[in-house]
Chains A and B, each alone.
Chain A
Amino acid sequence: MKDKRDLKVQAIGNGTVIDHIEAGQALNVLRILGISANCQGTVSFLMNAPGAKGRKDVVKIEGRELNVEELNRISLIAPNATVNIIRDFEVLQKKNVVLPTYVEGVVRCINPNCISNSTEPIKSKFSVVRSEGGGVVLRCLYCEHAISENIAEHLV
């Protein structure tokens, strides 16, 4: 058994562990997944944990296996994240997040005059592409404004 002094975050029995999140993005990962205080299971996270490739964040969600669409949404703000689905304390599946080609209702358009920022009964819609420099670019399907920086700041 591990020494108590080494135990930073308890292992989970069933659920999802999201690892290799860019340091400082853990709370945004919870936000993009719509996980709040109302969530039933235990949610724990590590911030600025040492990793092989520098500092990283880790999120553990007890009792919930995230679906592919939810997982891929994470890639907008943490493109290098890996996801482990846990059952009975064993890793059932390990996968990388994949950048989706389209997201709906996740990010708010930066153009204040965009119809998606009005009281109309619609959700924001964006196509997602990689820029030439390898970054993520969201393009609003309504007004065509692009978001290429600080995507986390525009989460719904």
Chain B
Amino acid sequence: MKDFSREEIDHVLDTAEKLEPVARGIEKSRLLDGKIIALLFFEPSTRTRLSFETAIQRLGGQIINLGSVEASSVMKGENLADTIRVISKYADLIVMRHPQDGSAHMASEFSSVPIINGGDGSIHHPTQTFLDLYTIRRESHLEGLKITMAGDLKYGRTVHSLCHALSLYGAEMTFVSPPELRMPSEIVRDMERRNIKVRETDSFENVIGDTEVLYMTRVQQERFPDPEEYEKVKNKLKLTGELLEGAAPDLKILHPLPRVNEIAPEVDDTPYACYFQQAFYGVPTRMALLALAMGVIE
């Protein structure tokens, strides 16, 4: 994500907005007519994979699929470099998800066609960041946003990328997390160097009323060796209807999903809930990235 300038991000988001009627099925598009897109998902995915499939089909493209890793030549011991060399001879573009950090970058060194990173390892998930930015732009505003990020800020890759991207637009950031899962100090320092106002706390108290976008993330049980400690943290960071009583009227709540219990079901029916809309915005955003990477839109 750090490779993208603000102008480049804006261009992707502008393109997504133009394609949104196609994503909704209101308009038809043949932008990817005759193009074959390979989906290489080396680990499980629901939203990313299905939203890419939807985006490709809405643009009239064809899909070839790795299928399950167990049924592929990966099980015969083929390395990723060879798999990419071969598939790039079949397809016009590759969308890839892989468990190892940096695998998409490596794939781009061996591929003769563009690679879109659908998430590699625990650090990068750039198309998620683009869809988060698109959601914020459509539902709130990017410039000088007052954003609160809550949950697992230590390991959550989406919040790390989002911090960097939002810093290009200026922002006030509040980080809500238990001490064990605080935002890495390297990122906090980086934000402060970029003149971003940062506030860190461990509860929602005095935070909600002054927030325009609340970005929730899942706290994973495996991060806590002591189950009791997990229960305590989990309940402290649960967003309920009661907590939202003091919310600003234009607050929007985002979550990369899947959620477990960090957002109470009653929040779903409030005007603040934006996470299912956010999931939909993955489609126009990925349509824009596909079309731009294929060069069918400038």
Residues of A within 8 A of B (CB): 111, 113-116, 118-122, 140-145
Contacts and interface: CB of A to CB of B under 8 A. Distances in A.
Contacts of A142: 101-103, 105-106
Contacts of B101: 111, 113-115, 142-143, 145
B297 to A, nearest CB: 29
Given A111-B101, A142-B101, A122 B109 contact: yes
B109 A115 contact: no
Residue with the greatest number of chain B CB neighbours at <10 A, chosen from A113, A115, A122, A141 = A115
Residue with the greatest number of chain A CB neighbours at <10 A, chosen from B2, B102, B121 = B102
Interface residues of B, number: 17
Which 4 pairs, one residue from A and one from B, show the smallest C-beta to C-beta distance?
A142-B102, A143-B101, A143-B102, A115-B102
Nearest to B80: A120
B121 A113 contact: yes
A114 to B, nearest CB: 5
B159 to A, nearest CB: 16
Contacts of B106: 115-116, 120, 122, 142
Contacts of B100: 113-115, 118
Contacts of A115: 80, 98, 100-103, 105-106, 120-121
A111 B123 CA distance: 11
Interface in B99-118: 99-103, 105-106, 109
Contacts of A116: 102, 106
Nearest to B2: A144
B185 interface: no
A120 B84 CA distance: 12
B117 to A, nearest CB: 12
A144 B160 CA distance: 13
Residue with the greatest number of chain A CB neighbours at <10 A, chosen from B79, B98, B99 = B79
Contacts of B109: 122
25 contacts: A113-B121, A113-B122, A114-B101, A114-B121, A115-B80, A115-B98, A115-B100, A115-B101, A115-B103, A116-B106, A118-B100, A119-B79, A120-B79, A120-B106, A122-B81, A122-B106, A141-B102, A142-B105, A143-B101, A143-B102, A143-B121, A143-B123, A144-B102, A144-B123, A145-B101
A102 to B, nearest CB: 14
Contact of A120 (B2, B81, B99, B123): B81
A114 B102 contact: yes
Interface in B39-94: 79-81
A119 B81 CA distance: 10
A63 to B, nearest CB: 37
A115 B123 CA distance: 12
B102 A121 contact: no
Contacts of B99: 113
A142 B79 CA distance: 17
Contacts of B2: 144
Contacts of B98: 115
Nearest to B82: A121
Nearest to B102: A142
Residue with the greatest number of chain A CB neighbours at <10 A, chosen from B101, B120, B121 = B101
Contacts of A145: 101
Contacts of A114: 100-102, 121
A116 B56 CA distance: 31
B2 to A, nearest CB: 8
A118 B121 CA distance: 13
A120 B103 CA distance: 10
Contacts of A119: 79
Nearest to B79: A120
B119 to A, nearest CB: 13
B286 to A, nearest CB: 23
A140 B120 CA distance: 15
Nearest to A119: B79
